[in-house]
Structure 1
Amino acid sequence: MKTHFFVLLLSLTFLSLQASPPPFFTSANRDTQNLINFKAALSNPSLLQNWLPNQNPCTFTGVECHETTNRVSSIGLANIPLTCDFHLVATFLLTLENLESLSLKSANISASISFPPGSKCSSVLSYLDLSQNSLSGSVSGIATLRSCPALKSLNLSGNSIEFSVLEEKSSGLRGLSFELLDLSFNKIVGSNAVPFILSEGCNELKHLSLKGNKVSGDIDFSSCKNLQYLDVSENNFSSSVPSFGKCLALEHLDISANKFYGDLGHAIGGCAKLNLLNVTSNKFSGPIPVLPTASLQSLSLGGNLFEGDIPLHLMDACPGLVMLDLSSNNLTGSVPSSLGSCTSLETFDISVNNLTGELPVDTLLKMTSLKRLDLAYNAFVGGLPDSFSQHTSLQSLDLSSNSLFGSIPTGLCKGPSNSLKELYLQNNRFTGSVPDTLSNCSQLTALHLSFNYLTGTIPSSLGSLYELRDLNLWFNQLHGEIPPELMNIKALETLILDFNELTGVIPSGISNCTNLKWISLSNNRLSGEIPESIGKLRSLTILKLSNNSFYGRIPPGLGDCRSLIWLDLNSNFLNETIPPELFKQSGSIAVNFIRGKRYVYLKNDKSEQCHGEGNLLEFAGIRLEQLSRISSNHPCNFSRVYGEYTRPTFNDNGSMIFLDLSYNMLSGSIPAAIGSLCGIPLPPCGSASGSSSNLGHQKSRRRQASLAGSVAMGLLFSLFCIFGLLIVAVEMKKRKKKKDSALDVYIDSRSHSGTANTAWKLTGREALSISLTTFELKPLRKLTFADLIEATNGFHNDSLIGSGGFGDVYKAELKDGSIVAIKKLIHISGQGDREFTAEMETIGKIKHRNLVPLLGYCKVKEERLLVYEYMKYGSLEDVLHDKKKTGIKLNWAARRKIAIGAAKGLTFLHHSCIPLIIHRDMKSSNVLLDENLEARVSDFGMARFMSAVDTHLSVSTLAGTPGYVPPEYYQSFRCSIKGDVYSYGVVLLELLTGRRPTDSSDFGDNNLVGWVMQHAKLRISDVFDSMLLKEDPSLEMELLEHLKVACACIDDRPWKRPTMIQVMARFKEIQAGCGLDSQSTTATEDGGFTAVEMVEMSIKEGPELSKQ
């Protein structure tokens, strides 16, 4: 009986087990169901093909399970374009009960972070990576993740999460205690973002990254005692650097690309465990402070204002230091020999400083682990020895823009173990030939030897450098042919050989270099036909063959270069017609545009000897002051200089943006495929022609009406009345004819314009009635666009009185007999009316007796006309340097008056305008002279407005004109009032010396500033204009005092230059010291003087000017 009962009990137990599956099996089913539901909700479920019902979820793509429970513990679906919103993730994935880790990096997750009501997050989820997605919403959305109690690591970098003012009043992220929080590269803005994020405190926080946002304000991490990694780089912090002294665990600190200042050494003095410190691109100044170096492996101090010598205390970090960046500061002196003890150093960058002395070869050779060495933009001298070949681990060597001389060593890559990949020796004084042994550098990818004095031929052995991508040898004295062997380098992307003496033809094998993107062979002596095979280079973006002797037709195959946006073939002997196939790439996208290449674009000044629109030059590693060498070797001055890094200028509908075929022997018609351009040599503009035709009919009708009216009046009035009316009619007809003629000239000039803006067509005459916007000048208020055209005879060349980088200037006589100057701005596509109006309204309100006032402006479609007060004697440049043109000779009294007047105008801009105005292009041609020979500064405010829009490429304009540009502008494009002071100093030198700022016949490769500095060490009186001392030898002491002011203004160090107020004060002292009348020399608020000015009184010493 007992036995039967026991068997029955076992049977029932077995049946119950069969009927009820184990709990873990049911839970696994729930995991599977969640995953299957998530897949079904995707727009493209096929992305997760093996996520199938009734299958073990542990076999699903990206899914991992716990070994014992068989429950889903980790999901990794990074880089799979799931394309869903966060709601799906929260509903089906975060609710998996045993989920510990979820990575959805770059999975195209969108919407804001919010947890569905009633859903319960996994209680063991500790790691969540949602980086590189499209998440939006506010930072406060993170607070909904409180339902994930174990969450310690959250990565939301690379999204669009914002921080709003409303969030500042919320409770922050209370209830969340992260160990890792990454919010880098979002849209977090404001000064309270950090306090909000740290509202729960940061006792547990070990890793925090806010990089790439716009966070500002004061920050305090002193309570974050366990913080090991902190990155707040690329934000808007502009305060004194906070103290990190209590962050004793801190190992990684990156505060780069902000505007921090203050005592860096004190702020991090207690961070003994730091192994990475990056403070690049801030405002730290003074000597490099003592830093905690015991554990340092990477130290980046570049892009600040540190000055003085490289401190010896940095050597304390040498045992473990792997990377040292001191670039872009104001460091002076030589490289300490003790740096040779940094034998672990792999990257050493001291570029863009003022370091001097012999190239520290011995010290550098002791750094046996070096892989990257950058000494560019310093003043090192000496030669480059063969012993550099001992650096077998060196991969990148940059010695550009120094004063190294001698020959390039033949043994630079001696031995099979060399690792050199990049060699930058441009802008030095190397002579001799290009060593053919450079072919031993078998791993070389970049070879830059431009702007030296190399002679001989290009070695054919370079053709064996099969990894070479960049070959830049421009501006040397190389001759011979382009070696056909170079065409074996299939990796070649840039071939820059401009400004040499190369002859022969372009090798036909150039089509083998299928990766070529930039070919520049201009200003050589090349000949032959342009190879049709260039059309096979589908990645070609820039092709420059100008100023050679190419002949034959333009190859139609160039139209197959679908990425070609820059084609310059000017000044050759090309003939036949322009092939329409050339433009079939229009509308394609230049996906292969060469990125990140530093360049300058020199816009030509349009003089008679100047051919072509301009010159695009690769300019990496070359000081921009070397542009003066280009102008001395090229018969063309340039009116504007642009400089930046190449990048695409369109997104989805591109086409050629620069085409120069001028100065050839082309014939025939312009292909219609070129686009909707009009005007000679293209077909006439239809609307404008129509307007001209209608105008003729109107004239005819008016003549008939006038004649009929005269006959009728003759029947009714006496002969006396007839004669009277005829006289009136004739005068009116003459005046109208003159006006119509001017309009015809203008319209015709628009139709015959050869610029890229000729697509604009006048659609009738309604535009001509648009009125001039004026600034408190009643006589001008009734003027219209048509009146301005009439006053300049249709902007005829006879009315042209000057040209500049911003446009042409015309003399205009108005109906009331008054004379004004009209500046016709260069045409700019895409220029906004709102920006133009706002800028002109600002400039128009600026009034000072030493500034040329803007009287008004007028805008009609693409035309922008500015009306200024007319200056009788034109520019100081013309009066001082072109006496034959002006017939005026300036004595010292007149020059002194001009110097002080210009200084007063500039002082007003700097110190009396709110906000202050930086001129950016101060030069003698922008100092105009009125009827009293009073200096008036012109074009203020224009450079800032024009720089953002006047260009074919996306660039930052190099502010200023060569010869007037301060040296710091060549290192960065940031302008300052001290830059204006430098330019004013050059103008003052012009007045003292009578010489132009750049003149190859006077200075060779030098300029006026360098020439004065050289002569200052010799016989100083040789600097002054001999005419002044002949006039009065006793002037020498006064001239010397003014020269001292000029030299102070042109100091290489911006912080050493005086302000314009200080310049004015110094002029006052000079006047008093020379016994000139200075009874009324009290400085006014605008930096000038009181009503009875010393300049006007001192000018009575002699005649201001005399005719030659």
Structure 2
Amino acid sequence: MVAVVVELLALQVPENGYGSINDAKVLAFGEMGFGIFGSFLVLTLFFKPLVCQQPNTDESFVFEFLQKMGLNPPKDYGFSGSFCSWRGVFCDDKGENVVGLEASGLGLSGVIPDTTIGKLIKLETLDLSSNRITALPSDFWSLGSIKKLNLSHNQITGSLSSNIGNFGRLESLDLSFNNFSGSIPEAVSSLSSLQALNLSHNGFESAIPTGIAQCRSLVAVDLSENSLNGSLPNGFGAALSQLKFLSLAGNEILGRASDFTGMKSIIYLNISGNQFKGSVVEVFEGPLEVIDLSRNQFQGHIAQVNFSSTFKWSNLLYLDLCENELSGEFFTDLIHAQNLKHLNLAYNRFTKQRFLQVDMLTNLEYLNLSGTNLIGEIPSNVSSLVSLRTLDLSENHLSNRIPPVLAKNLKVLDLSCNNLTGDIPLMLIGELHGMESFNFSYNNLSFCASQFSRETLEAAFIGSVNSCPIAANPDFFKRRAPKHRGLEIALVLTISMVCLLVGLLFLAFRCRRETRMWVVKQNSFREEQTISGPFSFQTDSTTWVADVKQATSVPVVIFEKPLLNFTFADLLSATSHFDRGTLLAEGRFGPVYGGLLPGGIHVAVKVLVHGSTMTDQEAARELEYLGRIKHPNLVPLTGYCLAGEQRIAIYDYMENGNLQNLLYDLPLGVQTTEDWSNDTWEDENNGIQNEATLVSWVRGLVRRNQALLAIDPKIRGTGPDAQMIEALKIGYLCTAETPSKRPSMQQVVGLLKDLEQITL
């Protein structure tokens, strides 16, 4: 009989464990007896906490929201028992309405459904951060009581609704790390109670709305890593006098330091990676502790400015002015920043100067003076910076020896690209094992560091001399038994002679073969394939590619993505071993190949024709300098590879081709209003129109398959015209604009001999 009652209950209770059993009827109570009634009562009491839920209540709204967002069954996440005791649910004093809901990091995904969260009319705090929510419901903006809203670290797309202005009581809004786009609505001006605003790491565009200046209660604003542009609203700084935290980093905002005048409470200011100009002096006022003005266009002789008397240097903890256009010398006021922990003045336009006075900056943990025109010696008092963890003095003109003792607790050290000489101190060598990274490359140093791997030596000591004695490398200098000495010498000499003879025979055979390997081809072509025209000297890239041994061990350097671990083998795979099928163009500096690196990175790979004249050190330095050049009209150099004797430059792939193609790639015989390339000076009496030189005129005829017109009518027909045309083609090759495409004299002789076989 108990089974019958259980079955009856099962019919009344839905699968999700909730429903109403108030209408359940015990049909056979009289016949079943009191025992059955008792069993039914026990089961009813057992199921009541799970199934007693009234529709259209906050409890039902929250439960439906969690279930439809993928939290199934909810009780596994602490949503069981009494409603107000559910995990992250906070009720009012009566236990009827939800005033707070925290569901961060529960794996909720998709669109928030209507008639769920939007029905919690008493809700004051909502935290749905770190989920996979993609959109908000239409009734979401009816939460008129909301004070704290956190939807950060989700996947919400689209524009931010102007209905945000309905949240008149909102004090904290965090929509960071989503995919919002469009402009920030002017309706934010209605948020008069707003104290914290975080819209960072989205895709917001256009200018910052002027209405934000009406939010005078703001204490913290983070709009970093968007695509905001334009200028700041007038009176921005003065209107937000209570602001303590401001980050506008990683946008395209225009402005000057004076835009922040009036922020008397500001402690944290980060406007890095924008387009601010002018002097930096007006930023230095008030109780600022963190100042980041890096990667802007600030100018001026910073040592000659008078800083505000209201600015307290002793409060300053973090200062970053790198990658601006500051000139002059370091400002002496820095000696008063005795609590400074982070200082970065790298890559400005400072004049040549001695090392910064660091005696008083004993709390420094990070010091970057790379590219600041430092001269002279590294001062020995750097060792007094006992808290220093990072020291970067690269790309300066520092000379003489490295001090015997640098900071003892260093984790990162970069002294590369200077004029340092002498031995690297043994004490410093001994401390390198405890560092995360170090670099002494491109100096005139010597060292003894036999304990480091070959990879470390090649990466961190480029251009330095290993001065270790034989005793420091016993594995490489083992003594041999004297009785075999003579035999070994004889064996080595014999093998050397055999190898030399084989090599000479191979070279002779190869030279003979190469005289016949190249041919002159005439194809229907597009001019972007080669600057020299439709006839090209055929070179074989497999020759130098084969000379590169262990392609997987030759690194490819990518400037802005150092963690990408590409090798020369990846370049070979991307360009099909530099096959002509992947050739994009051939310029005067070398051929350019297209390819796709692992991870879907589309690149253009240029093999530099004159690169072998430079040493590895010179080539790496020049290529790294070129990689720093950023201009909207220049294709950025993204990386390089030193493969044997070849120097390979890696550029971003330009889908629409280059300027040469756009200017000159016009269909033959088609004249357009944009065909300005023929608008050259003319002389009516020279018999040759529209051309400046005889060579270019003849080359143009050969390119257009009209070589016969270049032959003087007086000799035309006196011999095989085909031979004359082929002779012109040889001349075409010998006058190629790219020297590497011109044949050698031996090959020219071979071509001329082949002309004898051409008949009518």
TM category (shorter chain) comes to 0.5 to 0.7
Provide the residue aligned with 1:507 in structure 2: 403
1:528 aligns with 2:422: yes
Shift of 1:461: 2.4
Q: Which residue is 2:658 aligned to?
A: 988
Matching residue of 2:221: 324
User: Alignment partner of 2:343: what SS?
Assistant: strand
Q: 2:465 aligns with which of 573, 588, 592?
A: 573
d(CA) in 1 for partners of 2:418 and 2:263?
42
8 Å CA contact 2:572–2:578 kept in 1: the answer is no
Partners of 2:468 and 2:82 in 1: how far apart? 76
Identical counterparts, % of pairs: 23
Q: CA RMSD in A?
A: 5.3
Instruction: Give the distance between the partners of 1:547 and 1:171, measured in 2 at CA.
Output: 59
CA shift at 1:437, angstroms? 2.6
Contact 1:434–1:459 (8 Å) recurs in 2: no
Q: Which residue of 2 aligns with 1:208?
A: 101
**Paired residue for 2:242, among 337, 344, 349?**
344
The one-letter code matched in structure 1 to 2:141 is G
Q: Indicate the residue corresponding to 1:921 in structure 2.
A: 602
Following superposition, the deviation at residue 491 of structure 1 comes to 0.8
Alignment map for 1:996-1075 (pairs within 5 Å): 1037-1038=674-675
User: Aligned match of 2:126 in 230, 233, 244?
Assistant: 230
Aligned to 2:542: 801
Q: Kindly indicate whether the alpha-carbon contact (under 8 Å) linking 1:233 and 1:255 is maintained by their aligned counterparts in 2.
A: yes
CA change 1:422–1:800 in 2 (3 A) is: same
* Equivalent residue runs for 1:933-948 within 5 Å: none
Query: Are the aligned partners of 1:213 and 1:235 in contact in 2 as well (CA < 8 Å)?
Result: yes
Instruction: Measure, in 2, the Cα distance between the counterparts of 1:524 and 1:408.
Output: 25
Q: Which amino acid aligns with 2:156?
A: F
Q: Does 1:543 align with 2:543?
A: no
Q: Distance in 2 between matches of 1:255 and 1:800?
A: 55
How far residue 165 of structure 1 moved from its aligned partner, in angstroms, is 8.6
- 2:713 is matched with none
Q: What amino acid maps onto 2:439 in structure 1?
A: K
Q: Which residue of 2 aligns with 1:217?
A: 110
Tell me the equivalent position of 1:293. Answer: 191
- Kindly indicate whether residue 67 of structure 2 is the aligned counterpart of residue 360 of structure 1: no
Q: 1:232 to 1:399 in 2, by over 3 A?
A: same
Aligned letter for 1:1037? E
1:312 and 1:988 map into 2 onto residues whose CA distance is 42
Name the CA shift for 1:380/1:670 in 2 (closer, same or farther; >3 Å): farther
- Tell me what 1:397 maps to: 291
**Partner Cα separation in structure 2 for residue 395 and residue 245 of structure 1:** 38
Distance change in 2, residues 1:866/1:671 (3 Å): farther
Distance 1:870 1:480 in 2: 46
CA shift for structure 1 position 445: 0.7
Secondary structure in structure 2 of the residue aligned to 1:467: coil
Aligned residue number for residue 552 of structure 2: 826
Match of 1:41 in 2: none
**Counterpart secondary structure, 1:826:** helix
Give the match for residue 588 of structure 2. 881
Measured in 2, the distance between the counterparts of 1:309 and 1:424 equals: 25
SS in 2 for 1:1037: coil
1:167 pairs with 2:59: no
Secondary structure class of the residue paired with 1:245: helix
Contact 1:329 1:353 in 2 (8 A): yes
Corresponding residue for 1:957? none
Partner of 1:315: 213
The 1-side partners of 2:213 and 2:581 are apart by: 62
Q: Which residue of 1 aligns with 2:150?
A: 254
Deviations, residues 661-689 of structure 1 (Å, cap 9, x unaligned): xxxxxx875599xxxxxxxxxxxxxxxxx
3-state DSSP of counterpart to 1:233? coil
CA–CA separation in structure 2 for the residues paired with 1:579 and 1:429: 51
- Mapping of residues 21-40 of structure 1, within 5 Å: none
Question: How far off is 1:400 after superposition?
Answer: 0.7
Pick the aligned partner of 2:378 from 460, 478, 482.
482
Structure 2 vs 1, CA of residues 459 and 986 (structure 1 numbering), >3 Å: closer, same or farther? farther
Give the counterpart of 2:203 among 295, 302, 305. Answer: 305
Give the counterpart of 1:177 among 66, 74, 83: 83
The DSSP-based 3-state class of the residue aligned with 1:238 is strand
Distance across 2 between alignment mates of 1:338 and 1:543: 46
Once the two structures are superposed, residues 942-966 of structure 1 have per-residue CA deviations (whole angstroms, 9 ceiling, x without a partner) of: xxxxxxxxxxxxxxxxxxx999999
Q: CA deviation at 1:571?
A: 0.5
Q: Which residue identity does 1:293 align to in structure 2?
A: L
- Return the letter of the residue paired with 2:98: L
| Structure 1 residues 864 and 335, CA gap change in structure 2 (3 angstroms) | closer
Q: C-alpha distance in 1, partners of 2:269/2:471?
A: 49
Verify the 8 A CA contact 1:413 1:438 in the aligned structure 2. no
Q: Which amino acid aligns with 1:464?
A: M
AA of the residue aligned to 1:238: T
Distance 1:262 1:576, change over 3 A: closer
Displacement of 1:407 in angstroms is 1.9
Shift of 1:259: 2.1
State the alpha-carbon separation in 2 of the partners of residues 482 and 492 from structure 1: 15
Q: 1:870 and 1:501, CA in 2 relative to 1: closer, same or farther beyond 3 A?
A: closer
**d(CA) in 1 for partners of 2:386, 2:457:** 22
Note closer, same or farther for the CA distance 1:443–1:338 as it changes in structure 2 (3 Å cut).
same
**Match of residue 378, structure 1, among 274, 283, 295:** 274
Distance 1:262 1:166, change over 3 A: closer
**Further displaced range: 289-298 or 403-412:** 403-412
- 1:732-753 per-residue CA deviation (whole Å, 9 max, x = no partner) reads xx9xxx9xxxxxxxxxxxxxxx
CA 1:486–1:825: 2 relative to 1, 3 Å: closer
Aligned-pair distance for 1:826? 2.6
CA distance in 1, matches of 2:651, 2:571: 33
Shift of 1:569: 1.5
SS at match of 1:302: coil
Q: Which residue of 2 aligns with 1:335?
A: 232
Answer whether contact 1:237 1:258 (CA < 8 A) is retained.
Answer: yes
Letter in 2 for 1:517: K
CA-to-partner distance for each residue in 1:384-412, whole Å, 9 max, x for gaps?
Answer: 22x44432x10111111111111224655
The answer to whether the 8 Å contact 2:344/2:368 transfers is yes
1:464 aligned partner: 360
- Secondary structure, counterpart of 2:394 in structure 1: coil
State the secondary structure of the residue aligned to 1:509.
coil
SS for the counterpart of 1:327 is coil
Superposed CA offset, 1:865-921 (max 9, x none): 7995984477234x2234xx78xxxxxxxxxxx9xxx9xx99xx9xxxxxxx99532
In the TM superposition, residue 494 of structure 1 has moved relative to its aligned partner by 0.4
Task: Choose 437-446 or 222-231, whichever is displaced more.
Answer: 222-231
**Alignment check: 8 A CA contact 1:518 1:542 kept:** yes
Deviations 1:924-958, CA, capped at 9 Å, x for gaps? 659xxxxxxxxxxxxxxxxxxxxxxxxxxxxxxxx
Q: How does 1:792-871 map to 2 (within 5 A)?
A: 801=542, 826=552, 868=576, 871=579
Asked if structure 2 preserves the Cα contact closer than 8 Å seen for 1:211 and 1:234, the reply is yes
* 1:800 Cα deviation from its structure 2 partner: 5.2
> How many Å separate the matches in 2 of 1:143 and 1:261?
36
Question: Take 1:865 and 1:325, find their aligned partners in 2: how far apart are those partners?
Answer: 44
Which whole-Å CA distance do the structure 1 matches of 2:302 and 2:105 have between them?
Answer: 42
Gaps of 5+ in 1: 1-141, 147-151, 153-162, 184-196, 581-666, 673-733, 739-797, 811-821, 830-858, 887-897, 910-916, 927-960, 973-979, 993-1023, 1041-1098
- May I ask how many residue pairs the two structures share in their alignment? 512
- Match of 1:367, SS state, is coil
Q: Does 1:430 align with 2:171?
A: no
Deviation at 1:985, TM superposition (A): 4.8
**1:986 to partner: Cα distance:** 6.7
SS, match of residue 921 in structure 1: strand
Task: Classify 1:864/1:1034 alpha carbon distance in 2 versus 1 (closer, same or farther; 3 Å).
Answer: closer
